[in-house]
Amino acid sequence: MINQYKFEDGPELRDLFITVDDPESHITAIETFITYRVVTKTTRGEFDSSEYEVRRRYQDFLWLKSKLEEAHPTLIIPPLPEKFIMKGMVERFSDEFIETRRKALHKFLNRIADHPTLTFNEDFKIFLTAQAWELSSHKKQGPGLLSRMGQTVRAVASSVRGAVKNRPEMFTEMNNYMETFSQKINLLDKIAHRIYKEEKDYFNEMKEYGPIHTLWSASEEDIADSLKGVASCIEHCCRATEKRMAGLSEHLLPILHEYVLYSEILMGVLKRRDQIQGELDSKVDALANKKTEKDLFSEEIGKLEDKVERANNALKADWDRWKQNMHWDMRSTFTNVAENNLRYYEECLATWESFLTSQRVDLHVDEDSEDRP
Amino acid sequence: MEDCLAKKMEITVSEAEKRTGRNAMNIQETYTAYLIETRAVESQSEGQCAPVESLWRRYSEFELLRNYLSVTYPHIVVPPLPEKRADFVWHKLSADNMDPDFVERRRIGLENFLLRVASHPVLCQDKIFYAFLMQEGGWKEMVNETGFQLKADSRLKALNATFRVKNPDKRFTELKHYSDELQSVISHLLRVRARVADRLYGVYKVHGNYGRVFSEWSAIEKEMGDGLQSAGHHMDVYAASIDDILEEEEHYADQLKEYLFYAEALRAVCRKHELMQYDLEMAAQDLTSKKQQCEELATGTVRTFSLKGMTSKLFGQETPEQREAKIKVLEEQIQEGEEQLKSKNLEGRDFVKSAWADIERFKEQKNHDLKEALISYAVMQISMCKKGIQVWTNAKECFSKM
């Protein structure tokens, strides 16, 4: 399996290797769900063993993500593939869907492993190593759904209050950037899907086009070979089109989709930072109005100021890292798209050129026979 | 081929012009007129250019010419005219007869038609054809004076013959099947080709959207900006390139269409043969029955049932004088009939011989032309691939430098 993402520190320095594979269907009285095998190999001291194999379902990944968001509100947590929402389908999961999801989950865990901070997160370690029952019991501890909802409500409330007044310039710039980026990446996602659809339609028509020439050759003598040659070229181009489509769906479409998700994640991270700052600001305002208990407030404010500084620094560092990775991802993905198209045209060119050569050879043969007295 | 007109004269349909005028019912109409230019081919040594002669014709006059040729030379596979109305169009092309692209392609088709006729060993010698090229006024009257419309076989007669003929020449039967197959397969091919063109257009044009979005995105990026912007430009080039590509393909489609319509011309020759053969069979049948009648009268035996026989049995035999008179009439008719049958037989054989000669000529032309067309199609595909390679190579460079 090829890991298609950048290692910040280079592969030699990695000490945690994770794979997600082997989807399996589980049927109980209540529900049907898929589990994936998660294999971890590591040389890290804090892990009791050097190799782990566990089974996880999508719900478990969701839990991990929310724990990471909780612990690191201003870090950029990698995107998870979305829940499957399809109306009225009996067979919820097609093989294609499961495979796409598996690849995305694999990427998700590896991105966390690559992250300088998240890689040492305790919940992450438990996710990778705990047996099913251990994980269940661990999940039941800690703040539950309601507290998470509370955070979300507060975040929404603070955004309703409007842009934070003391927001550092840098974060306003980030906000502006993300708004435009989000717009553009969504457009690119739509365009890429459109291209895929058009290529598919083209492929379907080409499939019918080639065989007509073969059919025609059946009622001809002299030109039968030429007709069959054209039919074979068209079939060849058909196969090349299929490969081109596969390239799109395997590389471009997933990456663009990830960055659509990333843009949502980043907007959320910026909001949470604003919210943390908002806590500090409101306390500062409150202090200004208070005449007594100033000392107590100062201590609280001091703590909040630290919190804000930590959050800002974490976000700044992660933002730089994210931008670098994004840059790398976009460059390699679009270069790959160009290579894909090049391969397509080169294959088609070769097949038509060899047809042409065969035809011109025939013409020369005919001319020679005419010259004979 | 030495006598062929095409070698002695340059013929072009050089221009098309919109005209308005009043038609036969005094209603204002718009039509397109085509300029036919001719120039005698001078021998190189003279170094002088002969003057260009020209006249204007409209499509309906071309139709009249072709009808005249089809009726006057029924044993010849007469070249077809380009289509009257745009057919097998993909969405971007207009089906409107007044559309400039359609008019342009029709102009080329009409020129092709004239060149085909001018290079045909038999047709090029026709005076009406020559007059069509050289004489603007009074040409229509000249054609009508030939009275060719009277010589035309009715469609009903031809259909009747097709169903009832007993012994047509096997080669013509095979040829008819071939022309049916040819028509069917080329129609199918043209239909699907139009759909493929539509889809290909879609693929290319959607890539054009990249250009705009890349450009807008590049505005917020520092390092990636230049790469994105220039890649976007190449995507625009890619999207625009499909227009020329598909326009060229239309000419290929027109080449196939010509042979689609040639299938109808082939069928016309087969129909003429069936008609002549049926005529012959009917004449032979008629002669045989008259001979039989004669024999019966002469010998007094009635072998075949006839109303006359019945009535004479009921109302008494005819007199020997009456019988003699009848026999005499019949003998005359039989004499005439035998001569007619002989000449019809001769006509039929001549027709088969000359028709088959032209069909062989046509087959060679068709094989040559279609092979050339397929080769030109391959050349177009190759050109399209090379353009694609160039654009994506440029785009790849821009992306890799992002």
Q: What is the pLDDT of residue A2?
A: 44
- Count of A–B CB contacts within 8 Å? 137
Whether residue B232 contacts residue B218, with contact meaning beta carbons closer than 8 Å, is answered with yes
A interface test, pick of B184, B196, B369 with most A CB neighbours within 10 Å: B196
Chain A residues closer than 8 Å to B371 by CB:
222-223, 226, 359
How many angstroms separate the CA atoms of B246 and B127, rounded?
40
Lowest-confidence region among B56-70, B136-150, B169-183 = B136-150
| Tokens found for residue A297 | 């407030």
Pair B255, B191 in one domain: yes
* B287-300 residue pLDDT tens: 999 888 888 887 77
Q: Is residue B294 assigned to a domain?
A: yes
End of a domain among B152, B179, B201? B152
Q: What percent of chain A has pLDDT over 70?
A: 83
End of a domain among B95, B124, B152? B152
Provide the 10 A C-beta neighbour count for residue B213: 20
Pair B147, B47 in one domain: yes
Q: pLDDT-based confidence at A73, cuts 50/70/90?
A: confident
pLDDT for B46 beyond 70 = no
pLDDT for A193 beyond 70 = yes
Pair B189, B277 in one domain: yes
| Greater pLDDT, A349 or A100 | A349
**How many structural domains is chain B composed of?**
2
User: How many angstroms away from the CA of B168 is the closest CA of chain A?
Assistant: 21
Q: Is residue B325 assigned to a domain?
A: no
Listed by number, the residues of chain B in 216-245 with a beta carbon closer than 8 Å to a beta carbon of chain A are 216-217, 219-220, 223-224, 227, 231
Amino acid present at A249: S
Q: Is residue B276 assigned to a domain?
A: yes
Q: Supply the pTM of this predicted model.
A: 0.85
Q: Using only C-alpha atoms, what is the Rg of chain A?
A: 29
Lowest-confidence region among A251-265, B47-61, B345-359 = B47-61
pLDDT for A31 beyond 60 = yes
Q: What percent of chain B has pLDDT over 90?
A: 62
Q: pLDDT-based confidence at A257, cuts 50/70/90?
A: very high
* A169-183 residue pLDDT tens: 899 999 999 999 999
Q: Is residue B320 assigned to a domain?
A: no
Range A122-145 average pLDDT: 81
Chain B residues closer than 8 Å to A353 by CB:
382
Q: What is the pLDDT of residue A270?
A: 92
Looking at residue B86, which CATH number applies to its domain?
3.30.1520.10
Q: Cβ contact (<8 Å) for B209 and A181?
A: no
B interface test, pick of A178, A198, A248, A263 with most B CB neighbours within 10 Å: A198
Report the C-alpha dihedral over residues A241, A246, A249, A250, rounded to 10 degrees: -150
Chain A residues closer than 8 Å to B216 by CB:
180, 184
Nearest CA in chain A to B177: A219
End of a domain among B89, B117, B152? B152
Chain B residues closer than 8 Å to A198 by CB:
199, 202-203, 206
Strand partners, A40: A18, A52
Chain B residues closer than 8 Å to A327 by CB:
223-224, 402
How many angstroms separate the CA atoms of B21 and B31, rounded?
8
Q: What is the pLDDT of residue B1?
A: 45
Report H helices in B12-169: 59-72, 100-118, 127-134, 139-145, 148-151, 155-164
How many angstroms separate the CA atoms of B183 and B267, rounded?
10
Pair B145, B233 in one domain: no
Provide the 10 A C-beta neighbour count for residue B87: 13
Range A107-132 average pLDDT: 92
pLDDT for B109 beyond 90 = yes
Nearest CA in chain B to A345: B385
| Greater pLDDT, B1 or A190 | A190
User: How many angstroms away from the CA of B88 is the closest CA of chain A?
Assistant: 14
Indicate the average pLDDT of chain B. 88
How many angstroms separate the CA atoms of B54 and B52, rounded?
7
Report H helices in chain A: 58-71, 95-114, 122-129, 132-140, 145-160, 169-217, 224-247, 253-289, 294-371
Q: pLDDT-based confidence at A160, cuts 50/70/90?
A: very low
Pair B124, B9 in one domain: yes
Q: What is the pLDDT of residue B304?
A: 60
Q: Is residue B315 assigned to a domain?
A: no
Pair B241, B343 in one domain: yes
Q: What is the pLDDT of residue A291?
A: 65
Whether residue B238 contacts residue B119, with contact meaning beta carbons closer than 8 Å, is answered with no
* B340-394 residue pLDDT tens: 999 999 999 999 999 999 999 999 999 999 999 999 999 999 999 999 999 999 9
Looking at residue B297, which CATH number applies to its domain?
1.20.1270.60
Is A260 at the interface with chain B, CB within 8 A?
A: no
* A232-247 residue pLDDT tens: 999 999 999 999 999 9
Strand partners, B353: none
Sequence-distant (≥ 6) Cβ neighbours of residue B10 within 8 angstroms: B37, B38, B39, B40, B41
How many angstroms separate the CA atoms of A284 and A277, rounded?
11
Pair B341, B294 in one domain: yes
Q: Is residue B43 assigned to a domain?
A: yes
pLDDT for B184 beyond 90 = yes
How many angstroms separate the CA atoms of B218 and A330, rounded?
12
pLDDT for A369 beyond 60 = no
Range A115-125 average pLDDT: 92
Q: Cβ contact (<8 Å) for A187 and B213?
A: yes
pLDDT for A134 beyond 90 = no
How many angstroms separate the CA atoms of A152 and A188, rounded?
29
Range A174-193 average pLDDT: 95
A72 conformational bin, left if phi > 0, alpha if psi -120 to 50, beta if neither: beta
In terms of average pLDDT, the best of B23-27, B85-89, B145-149, B317-321 is B145-149
Range A77-104 average pLDDT: 76
Specify the DSSP element, H or E, that contains B323. Answer: helix B320-400
Chain A residues closer than 8 Å to B260 by CB:
none
* B197-250 residue pLDDT tens: 999 999 999 999 999 999 999 999 998 999 999 999 999 999 999 999 999 999
* B232-242 residue pLDDT tens: 999 999 999 99
ipTM score of complex: 0.88
Pair B122, B178 in one domain: no
Write the DSSP string, A229-255.
Answer: HHHHHHHHHHHHHHHHHHHIIIIIHHH
What does residue B311 show for φ and ψ, rounded to 5 degrees?
Answer: -65, -40
Q: pLDDT-based confidence at A95, cuts 50/70/90?
A: confident
Q: Is residue B292 assigned to a domain?
A: yes
Q: What is the pLDDT of residue A3?
A: 45
Pair B119, B201 in one domain: no
Whether residue A82 contacts residue A100, with contact meaning beta carbons closer than 8 Å, is answered with no
**Which residue range forms the structural domain that includes residue B101?**
1-152
Pair B12, B116 in one domain: yes
Q: Cβ contact (<8 Å) for A222 and B374?
A: no
Pair B13, B120 in one domain: yes
Listed by number, the residues of chain B in 173-212 with a beta carbon closer than 8 Å to a beta carbon of chain A are 178, 181-182, 185-186, 188-189, 192-193, 195-196, 198-200, 202-203, 206-207, 209-210
Is A213 at the interface with chain B, CB within 8 A?
A: yes
pLDDT for B305 beyond 80 = no
Q: What is the pLDDT of residue A87?
A: 47
Whether residue A238 contacts residue A207, with contact meaning beta carbons closer than 8 Å, is answered with yes
Sequence-distant (≥ 6) Cβ neighbours of residue A148 within 8 angstroms: A66, A70
Range B150-170 average pLDDT: 86
Pair B138, B199 in one domain: no
Q: What is the pLDDT of residue A303?
A: 85
| Tokens found for residue B296 | 């019966």
* A310-328 residue pLDDT tens: 889 999 999 999 999 999 9
How many angstroms separate the CA atoms of A212 and A207, rounded?
10
Look at residues B381, A351, A2, B73 and name the one whose alpha carbon lies nearest to residue B373. B381
Whether residue B380 contacts residue B249, with contact meaning beta carbons closer than 8 Å, is answered with yes
Q: What is the pLDDT of residue A178?
A: 95
Is A196 at the interface with chain B, CB within 8 A?
A: no
pLDDT for B194 beyond 90 = yes
Q: Of A194, A206, A335, which is closest to B400 when you measure between CB atoms? A: A335
pLDDT for A131 beyond 90 = no
| Greater pLDDT, A171 or A84 | A171
Whether residue B256 contacts residue B373, with contact meaning beta carbons closer than 8 Å, is answered with yes
Is B367 at the interface with chain A, CB within 8 A?
A: yes
Q: Is residue B162 assigned to a domain?
A: no
* A274-310 residue pLDDT tens: 988 888 888 887 777 776 666 777 788 888 888 889 8
